[in-house]
Amino acid sequence: MPSKKNISNKSIKLIKYYKLINYNLIYNNQSINRYKNNFNQISGNKAKNLDNLKKMIANIKNCELKKNAKNIVFADGNPEAKIMFIGEGPGANEDQEGIPFVGRAGILLDKMLASINLNRENVYITNVVNYRPPENRKPTGEEINRYLPYLKKHIEIINPKILVLLGNTSMNALIDNEIVISKARGKWIDREFGKCKTSVIITFHPAFLMRQPAQKKMTWIDLKMIRDKKTKLNI
Protein backbone atom coordinates (compact mmCIF):
# COMPACT_ATOMS: atom_id res chain seq x y z
CA MET A 1 0.00 0.00 0.00
CA PRO A 2 1.50 3.42 -0.87
CA SER A 3 1.75 5.74 2.09
CA LYS A 4 -0.42 8.84 2.39
CA LYS A 5 2.68 10.98 1.77
CA ASN A 6 3.43 9.13 -1.50
CA ILE A 7 -0.13 9.56 -2.79
CA SER A 8 -0.06 13.28 -2.24
CA ASN A 9 3.37 13.55 -3.90
CA LYS A 10 1.98 11.62 -6.85
CA SER A 11 -1.05 13.93 -7.05
CA ILE A 12 1.16 16.98 -6.97
CA LYS A 13 3.29 15.55 -9.78
CA LEU A 14 0.16 14.75 -11.79
CA ILE A 15 -1.22 18.27 -11.37
CA LYS A 16 2.14 19.70 -12.46
CA TYR A 17 2.10 17.38 -15.48
CA TYR A 18 -1.44 18.40 -16.47
CA LYS A 19 -0.46 22.06 -16.21
CA LEU A 20 2.64 21.41 -18.32
CA ILE A 21 0.70 19.78 -21.16
CA ASN A 22 -2.07 22.40 -20.93
CA TYR A 23 -4.66 19.70 -20.25
CA ASN A 24 -7.65 22.04 -20.43
CA LEU A 25 -6.85 23.04 -23.99
CA ILE A 26 -6.11 19.53 -25.24
CA TYR A 27 -8.89 17.56 -23.58
CA ASN A 28 -12.08 19.51 -23.67
CA ASN A 29 -15.47 18.36 -24.83
CA GLN A 30 -16.34 21.56 -26.66
CA SER A 31 -16.69 21.78 -30.44
CA ILE A 32 -13.47 22.20 -32.41
CA ASN A 33 -12.63 25.85 -32.93
CA ARG A 34 -9.65 26.72 -35.13
CA TYR A 35 -9.11 29.90 -33.15
CA LYS A 36 -8.63 27.80 -30.01
CA ASN A 37 -6.18 25.51 -31.82
CA ASN A 38 -3.81 28.44 -32.23
CA PHE A 39 -4.32 29.60 -28.71
CA ASN A 40 -1.53 27.68 -27.04
CA GLN A 41 0.99 28.85 -29.65
CA ILE A 42 0.54 32.52 -28.87
CA SER A 43 2.25 34.63 -26.27
CA GLY A 44 0.76 34.42 -22.77
CA ASN A 45 -0.36 38.03 -22.61
CA LYS A 46 -2.06 38.03 -25.99
CA ALA A 47 -3.91 34.80 -25.20
CA LYS A 48 -5.04 36.20 -21.85
CA ASN A 49 -6.11 39.53 -23.35
CA LEU A 50 -8.09 37.82 -26.12
CA ASP A 51 -9.72 35.52 -23.62
CA ASN A 52 -10.68 38.49 -21.43
CA LEU A 53 -12.01 40.40 -24.42
CA LYS A 54 -14.14 37.43 -25.48
CA LYS A 55 -15.52 37.18 -21.94
CA MET A 56 -16.31 40.91 -21.90
CA ILE A 57 -18.19 40.62 -25.20
CA ALA A 58 -20.05 37.57 -23.89
CA ASN A 59 -21.08 39.72 -20.90
CA ILE A 60 -22.58 42.57 -22.94
CA LYS A 61 -26.09 43.18 -21.60
CA ASN A 62 -29.33 44.25 -23.31
CA CYS A 63 -28.23 43.48 -26.84
CA GLU A 64 -30.93 42.36 -29.28
CA LEU A 65 -28.35 40.64 -31.51
CA LYS A 66 -27.28 38.42 -28.69
CA LYS A 67 -30.81 37.44 -27.74
CA ASN A 68 -31.42 36.06 -31.23
CA ALA A 69 -28.02 34.49 -31.92
CA LYS A 70 -26.91 30.92 -31.19
CA ASN A 71 -23.21 31.60 -30.69
CA ILE A 72 -20.67 34.34 -30.21
CA VAL A 73 -18.52 34.67 -33.34
CA PHE A 74 -15.25 36.03 -32.01
CA ALA A 75 -12.47 35.40 -34.53
CA ASP A 76 -10.62 32.95 -36.75
CA GLY A 77 -7.07 32.65 -37.98
CA ASN A 78 -3.74 33.25 -36.32
CA PRO A 79 -3.62 35.75 -33.44
CA GLU A 80 0.09 36.29 -34.19
CA ALA A 81 -0.67 37.28 -37.81
CA LYS A 82 0.44 40.70 -39.01
CA ILE A 83 -2.56 41.06 -41.33
CA MET A 84 -6.06 41.41 -39.88
CA PHE A 85 -9.37 41.39 -41.81
CA ILE A 86 -12.62 42.87 -40.49
CA GLY A 87 -16.01 42.01 -41.98
CA GLU A 88 -19.49 43.16 -40.99
CA GLY A 89 -21.18 40.53 -38.88
CA PRO A 90 -21.92 36.81 -38.77
CA GLY A 91 -24.48 35.17 -41.04
CA ALA A 92 -26.39 31.93 -40.44
CA ASN A 93 -23.42 29.59 -41.03
CA GLU A 94 -21.12 31.65 -38.87
CA ASP A 95 -23.74 31.76 -36.10
CA GLN A 96 -24.09 27.99 -36.30
CA GLU A 97 -20.34 27.31 -36.14
CA GLY A 98 -19.16 30.25 -34.04
CA ILE A 99 -16.48 31.08 -36.64
CA PRO A 100 -16.39 34.10 -38.99
CA PHE A 101 -16.61 33.72 -42.77
CA VAL A 102 -17.46 30.03 -43.07
CA GLY A 103 -20.41 30.47 -45.50
CA ARG A 104 -20.39 31.42 -49.20
CA ALA A 105 -18.76 34.80 -48.56
CA GLY A 106 -16.10 32.94 -46.56
CA ILE A 107 -15.33 30.66 -49.49
CA LEU A 108 -14.76 33.72 -51.66
CA LEU A 109 -12.68 35.36 -48.92
CA ASP A 110 -10.49 32.22 -48.78
CA LYS A 111 -10.01 32.47 -52.57
CA MET A 112 -9.11 36.15 -52.29
CA LEU A 113 -6.55 35.27 -49.61
CA ALA A 114 -5.14 32.39 -51.67
CA SER A 115 -4.70 34.69 -54.69
CA ILE A 116 -2.01 36.57 -52.75
CA ASN A 117 -0.58 33.52 -50.97
CA LEU A 118 -2.43 34.05 -47.72
CA ASN A 119 -4.63 31.69 -45.74
CA ARG A 120 -6.19 31.43 -42.29
CA GLU A 121 -2.87 30.34 -40.80
CA ASN A 122 -1.27 33.69 -41.57
CA VAL A 123 -4.13 36.17 -41.21
CA TYR A 124 -6.58 36.99 -38.42
CA ILE A 125 -10.28 37.57 -39.10
CA THR A 126 -13.09 39.15 -37.10
CA ASN A 127 -16.25 41.24 -37.60
CA VAL A 128 -17.66 44.59 -36.45
CA VAL A 129 -20.37 42.81 -34.43
CA ASN A 130 -19.86 39.42 -32.83
CA TYR A 131 -23.44 38.15 -32.95
CA ARG A 132 -25.60 37.49 -36.01
CA PRO A 133 -28.07 40.26 -36.89
CA PRO A 134 -31.49 38.59 -37.41
CA GLU A 135 -32.57 37.96 -41.03
CA ASN A 136 -29.01 38.91 -42.07
CA ARG A 137 -29.87 42.59 -41.78
CA LYS A 138 -27.09 45.13 -41.38
CA PRO A 139 -26.20 45.96 -37.77
CA THR A 140 -27.76 49.27 -36.69
CA GLY A 141 -25.71 52.32 -35.73
CA GLU A 142 -26.52 51.65 -32.08
CA GLU A 143 -25.35 48.03 -32.34
CA ILE A 144 -22.16 49.05 -34.12
CA ASN A 145 -21.40 51.64 -31.43
CA ARG A 146 -22.01 49.06 -28.71
CA TYR A 147 -19.39 46.70 -30.19
CA LEU A 148 -16.94 49.35 -31.42
CA PRO A 149 -14.88 49.74 -28.22
CA TYR A 150 -14.40 45.95 -28.16
CA LEU A 151 -13.43 45.91 -31.85
CA LYS A 152 -10.85 48.66 -31.28
CA LYS A 153 -9.46 46.71 -28.31
CA HIS A 154 -9.38 43.59 -30.49
CA ILE A 155 -7.26 45.44 -33.07
CA GLU A 156 -4.96 46.75 -30.34
CA ILE A 157 -4.43 43.25 -28.94
CA ILE A 158 -3.71 41.66 -32.34
CA ASN A 159 -1.55 44.66 -33.30
CA PRO A 160 -1.57 44.04 -37.08
CA LYS A 161 0.78 45.87 -39.45
CA ILE A 162 -1.91 45.73 -42.15
CA LEU A 163 -5.62 46.09 -41.45
CA VAL A 164 -8.05 45.19 -44.25
CA LEU A 165 -11.60 46.53 -43.92
CA LEU A 166 -14.10 44.47 -45.90
CA GLY A 167 -17.02 46.59 -47.03
CA ASN A 168 -19.03 49.59 -45.89
CA THR A 169 -19.82 48.58 -42.34
CA SER A 170 -16.24 48.15 -41.14
CA MET A 171 -15.13 51.20 -43.18
CA ASN A 172 -17.86 53.41 -41.66
CA ALA A 173 -17.27 52.09 -38.14
CA LEU A 174 -13.49 52.49 -38.11
CA ILE A 175 -12.60 55.22 -40.63
CA ASP A 176 -15.40 57.59 -41.52
CA ASN A 177 -19.17 57.49 -41.72
CA GLU A 178 -19.33 59.98 -44.57
CA ILE A 179 -17.08 58.34 -47.19
CA VAL A 180 -18.20 56.06 -50.04
CA ILE A 181 -16.40 52.81 -50.62
CA SER A 182 -16.00 53.24 -54.37
CA LYS A 183 -13.80 56.29 -53.65
CA ALA A 184 -12.17 55.11 -50.40
CA ARG A 185 -11.05 51.62 -51.46
CA GLY A 186 -7.55 50.85 -52.66
CA LYS A 187 -5.74 53.56 -50.64
CA TRP A 188 -3.43 53.21 -47.67
CA ILE A 189 -4.52 55.11 -44.56
CA ASP A 190 -2.31 55.33 -41.44
CA ARG A 191 -4.32 54.81 -38.26
CA GLU A 192 -3.70 54.22 -34.56
CA PHE A 193 -5.87 52.04 -32.36
CA GLY A 194 -4.55 52.47 -28.84
CA LYS A 195 -0.91 51.40 -29.01
CA CYS A 196 -1.36 49.78 -32.43
CA LYS A 197 -0.09 51.80 -35.41
CA THR A 198 -1.26 50.22 -38.62
CA SER A 199 -1.77 50.71 -42.35
CA VAL A 200 -5.43 50.37 -43.24
CA ILE A 201 -6.85 49.51 -46.65
CA ILE A 202 -10.54 49.31 -47.56
CA THR A 203 -11.79 46.84 -50.13
CA PHE A 204 -15.14 45.41 -51.22
CA HIS A 205 -16.87 42.83 -49.04
CA PRO A 206 -16.90 39.32 -50.60
CA ALA A 207 -20.73 39.18 -50.26
CA PHE A 208 -20.94 42.37 -52.35
CA LEU A 209 -18.57 40.84 -54.91
CA MET A 210 -20.89 37.85 -55.26
CA ARG A 211 -23.69 40.26 -56.20
CA GLN A 212 -21.46 42.50 -58.34
CA PRO A 213 -18.78 40.22 -59.87
CA ALA A 214 -17.68 43.01 -62.24
CA GLN A 215 -16.12 44.72 -59.19
CA LYS A 216 -13.72 41.79 -58.67
CA LYS A 217 -11.19 43.49 -60.95
CA MET A 218 -11.03 46.45 -58.54
CA THR A 219 -10.60 44.05 -55.63
CA TRP A 220 -7.71 42.41 -57.44
CA ILE A 221 -5.97 45.81 -57.50
CA ASP A 222 -6.48 46.09 -53.72
CA LEU A 223 -5.25 42.54 -53.13
CA LYS A 224 -2.07 43.26 -55.09
CA MET A 225 -1.55 46.37 -52.95
CA ILE A 226 -1.81 44.18 -49.84
CA ARG A 227 0.65 41.68 -51.34
CA ASP A 228 3.14 44.47 -52.19
CA LYS A 229 2.80 46.08 -48.76
CA LYS A 230 3.41 42.71 -47.14
CA THR A 231 6.63 42.36 -49.14
CA LYS A 232 7.69 45.94 -48.36
CA LEU A 233 7.09 45.46 -44.62
CA ASN A 234 8.81 42.07 -44.77
CA ILE A 235 5.93 40.24 -43.10
By the 8 A CB rule, do 88 and 167 touch? yes
The residue number with the shortest CB distance to ligand URA is: 87
By the 8 A CB rule, do 158 and 84 touch? yes
Using the rule CB under 6 A, is 95 a contact of ligand URA? no
User: Among 207, 209, 223, 225, which residue sits at the site for ligand URA (rule: CB under 6 A)?
Assistant: 207
Of 4-12, 14-22, 103-111, 139-147, the window that binds ligand URA (rule: CB under 6 A) is 103-111
Q: Is the dihedral of CA 128, 133, 135, 140 positive or negative?
A: negative
Give the phi and the psi of residue 202 in degrees, each rounded to 5: -105, 135
Please give the DSSP secondary-structure letter assigned to residue 215.
Answer: G
List the interface residues with ligand URA, window 126-145 (CB under 6 A). 127
User: Among 77, 87, 98, 139, which residue sits at the site for ligand URA (rule: CB under 6 A)?
Assistant: 87
CB-count exposure of residue 187 (10 Å: 0-12, 13-18, 19+): exposed
Which residues, other chains included, contact 191 with Cβ-Cβ below 8 Å and sequence gap of 6+?
163, 174, 175, 197, 198, 199, 200
What is the contact mask toward ligand URA in residues 153 to 172, using x (rule: CB under 6 A)? --------------------
Using the rule CB under 6 A, is 88 a contact of ligand URA? yes
Of 11-19, 37-45, 84-92, 210-218, the window that binds ligand URA (rule: CB under 6 A) is 84-92
Q: Which is nearer to ligand URA, 7 or 114 (CB)?
A: 114
List the interface residues with ligand URA, window 173-202 (CB under 6 A). none
Terminal C-alpha separation, the chain: 59
User: Among 77, 79, 91, 133, which residue sits at the site for ligand URA (rule: CB under 6 A)?
Assistant: 91
Where do contacts with ligand URA occur on this chain (CB under 6 A)?
87-91, 94, 100-101, 103, 105-106, 127, 207
